[in-house]
Structure 1
Amino acid sequence: MATTQTELIPPPQVPLGTQGFQVSKLGFGCMGLTGAYNDPLPEQDGISVINYAFSKGVTFFDTADIYGGSGANEILLGKALKQLPREKIQLATKFGISRRDVSRLADVTIKGSPEYVRSCCEASLKRLDVEYIDLYYQHRIDTSVSIEDTVGELKKLVEEGKVKYIGLSEASPDTIRRAHAVHPITAVQIEWSLWTRDIEEEIVPLCRELGIGIVPYSPLGRGFFGGKGVTENVPAVSSLTSHPRFQAENLNKNKNIYDKIESLGKKHGCTPAQLALAWVLQQGKDVVPIPGTTKIKNLDQNLGALAVKLSEEDLREISAAVPVDDIAGSRYYNGFDHISWKFANTPPKV
């Protein structure tokens, strides 16, 4: 049974990767606080959500220089950190996506040159108003730049004390292996949920071979398993209005998936969101999902997923309830799938 709101279990501290980095087993993705799936929260409300998450044991916070436009998300998180003990926080941010037109999701360029890496790091440190970044990810892979050059510059930032650990996001197996040969990669952030499982065949085994932690983003299917588009409407301002899986025809088919998880949730005494998140949480000790929300009640619900205990048989039953081939619509926004890990191979060494 999931715990009630007054019995929330703080997430334990667990190793992420094999380089000594410790984080809370459940992280918090900050992207939505400055607008993505909903209207941006007022600044103080966003800070309050972050503070509340910390008060419940969440210490691993994830942002990126592109979130909110003009670094707004990093600025917000930086202000929240001023109210928290920095030494107890694991701060992750990212570089690598440059959006030319903030009104067009697909209108982006990917950059990974050494000069760009350094300039982004310096800018993020300033916006966050911190002396170091705990985990610095390359947000997407620049296929015009050798990964050895990109990670080589990240290695220098580690040596200078500006970054503690290095991560990759949406990187292919070849890219991960080559990057890890230059400097240990601590974590790979990648989409993983009940309805996005394409990393299980290659990415997950490779990360475990190399001792790399796995940080699933969108573990609730961009809110779908929390009822987005099913029990509640998708806001008109949400980027989900252009997401293939939330288009009317696809969404009507995918609602059958939600119904199955809702039924299984009742069996385990929890909500569909808690069951979906518990499924991700229990994929391995090296898995640390980072669901985000703008609502305290949803944050409490996510924390409640830590109390949902699933056996191997339960995990198989839940997986079988969501056949990958039954999911309607691709996992990426139209015109944006070219930057997923399947397209993220870097050019050969020269």
Structure 2
Amino acid sequence: MKKRKLGSEGLEVSALGLGTMMMPNNDESVRAIQGALDLGVTMFDTADLYGEEYLLHRFGGNEKLIGRALKGRRDEAIIATKFGITHSQGPKGDPAYIKKSVDASLYQLGVDYIDLYYQHRVDPNIPIEETVGTMADLVKEGKIRYIGLSEAPAAIIRRAHAIHPITAVETEYSLWSREVEDEVLPTLRELGIGFVPYSPLGRGFLTGQIKKFDDLPLDDYRRFYPRFQGDNFVKNVEVVTLIETMAAKKGCTAAQLGLAWLLGQGDDIVPIPGTKRLERIQENIGSLQVALTADDFAEIERISPKDAAAGGRFPSFN
């Protein structure tokens, strides 16, 4: 497994991480996480609200899974978790909430420290300086090792980094979601901050496994996302078909091509594709062996240029 460095503070992780958001806390998920670790994946991404209990307003289910799967192998893994999204109060970043959240996450994970601790969403009512200052105190206390932000704009990242070095920023990035290229990525590179793309395969669309709307289970959250609906869905399938055709010529899968493109955007990028199945983890790791030439990158840009995806990133609940 190839390694990459996140930020300038010394955090080294596998070139591909594993997003665990959709994993239920069961034996199959444990086997998948342990199998990923056996294959050289070291970075495991979770959050205090992830897990099958989320809709019941009971947090921590996914963190319990991570703790269970990594028990006895803690020193082999980099655990990244998050705080700051609530059901009823919006994003939170006040000191009291952070201190309560980190202790809860440590308990749910069953660990003494968290490697990378993200603010999941920026709290518009609390200055980022106050939030990051509190997180810096957690570093001094040994409860966390490195600080991260998720879905933060460039201006906020700059202010946060002035208080304490930010090691990584996590934001959606894929062939279909390239907004970070405008301001966020240049800012991260100027400041020496690593980048962790979530949904690097367009929430599964870029795998080529979804051909029609009815392929999505009735309880699948993606049914509410604009890119999976109506005319948007039809147009997006057309783009994915072109990606699949190119992947076949390269001797890889569409998912591997999409991840190889993303990995090729810089050595400071560590994607965290999410899956429940070990065979998909193995497939994703295969992307590290896909060599793309300058002509390949140009062809990908032709068939899937920036803003190629029809529909917005998130549903509107207004």
* CA deviation vs aligned residue, 1:45-82 (integer Å, no higher than 9, x gap): 11111001001110100000010222100011111110
Q: Which digits, 9 at most, give the CA deviation of each residue in 1:293-347, with x for residues without a partner?
A: 11222111101111101123322321221123432110112239xxxxxxxxxxx
The DSSP-based 3-state class of the residue aligned with 1:207 is helix
Alignment partner, residue 21 of structure 1: 11
**Alignment partner of 1:148 is 2:138:** no
Distance 2:190 2:249 in 1: 35
Give the aligned residue type for 1:19: E
Residue 86 of structure 2: aligned partner: 98
Q: 1:335 to 1:228 in 2, by over 3 A?
A: farther
Pairing 1:87–2:114 present: no
The 8 Å contact of residues 228 and 234 in structure 1, kept in 2 or not, is answered as: no
Correspondences of 1:26-37 after superposition (within 5 Å): 26-34=16-24
Q: Is the 8 A contact 1:216 1:289 kept in 2?
A: yes
State the match for 1:54 in structure 2.
Answer: 37
Q: 1:114 aligns with which of 95, 115, 124?
A: 95
Does residue 236 in structure 1 map to residue 226 in structure 2?
no
Output the TM-score relative to the length of structure 1. Answer: 0.86
Contact 1:64 1:73 in 2 (8 A): yes
Say whether the 8 Å CA contact 2:85–2:121 is kept in structure 1.
yes
- How far residue 264 of structure 1 moved from its aligned partner, in angstroms, is 1.0
State the secondary structure of the residue aligned to 2:106: helix
Partner of 2:286: 304
Q: Percent identity?
A: 49
Output one character per residue of 1:157-185: Cα deviation in whole Å (capped at 9) or x when no partner: 00000000000000000000000000000
Measure how far apart 1:228 and its partner are: 4.3
Which deviations, in whole Å up to 9, do the C-alpha atoms of 1:237-261 show, x marking residues without a partner? Answer: 1110101100132101111110110
- Which residue of the partner structure matches residue 345 of structure 1? none
Corresponding residue for 1:211?
192
Deviates further, 132-141 or 241-250: 241-250
The equivalent residue for 2:63 is 74
Give 1:263's match in structure 2, choosing from 245, 249, 261: 245
CA offsets per residue over residues 114-169 of structure 1, 9 Å max, x none? 11111110100000010000000000000111000000000000000000000000
Ranked by relative contact order (alpha carbons within 8 Å, sequence separation 6 or more), the top structure is 1
The code of the aligned residue for 1:96 comes to: G
Provide the rounded CA distance (Å) in 2 between the counterparts of 1:83 and 1:236.
Answer: 38
Q: Deviations over 1:18-41 (max 9, x none)?
A: 11001000000000103xxxxxxx
Query: Which string of whole-angstrom CA distances, capped at 9 and with x for unpartnered residues, describes residues 244-283 of structure 1?
Result: 1001321011111101101110221111111011111111
The one-letter code matched in structure 2 to 1:197 is R
TM-score if structure 2 supplies the norm length?
Answer: 0.95
Distance 1:309 1:55 in 2: 24
Equivalent residue number for residue 230 of structure 2 = 248
Distance 1:187 1:228 in 2: 30
Distance 1:326 1:197 in 2: 10
Which residue in the other structure is 1:285 paired with? 267
RMSD (Å), alpha carbons? 1.4
Give 1:132's aligned residue. 113
1:4 maps to what in 2? none
CA distance in 1, matches of 2:145, 2:294: 35
Structure 2: distance between partners of 1:253 and 1:208:
34
- 1:65 matches 2:21: no
Aligned-partner residue type, residue 195 of structure 2: I
Supply the AA of the counterpart residue of 1:97: I
1:28–1:62 CA contact under 8 A, matched in 2: yes
Partner of 1:330: 312
Structure 1 stretches lacking a partner, 5+ long? 1-10, 35-41, 101-107, 337-350
Cα contact 1:167–1:187 (8 A) shared by 2: yes
Which moved further from structure 2: 125-134 or 262-271? Answer: 262-271
8 Å CA contact retained: 2:176, 2:307: no
Measure the CA separation in 2 of the matches of 1:136 and 1:194. 27
Q: Distance in 2 between matches of 1:296 and 1:302?
A: 10
Across the two proteins, how many residue pairs are aligned to each other? 311
Output the CA distance in 2 between the equivalents of 1:127 and 1:301. 30
Q: Is the 8 A contact 1:66 1:99 kept in 2?
A: no
CA distance in 1, matches of 2:251, 2:100: 49
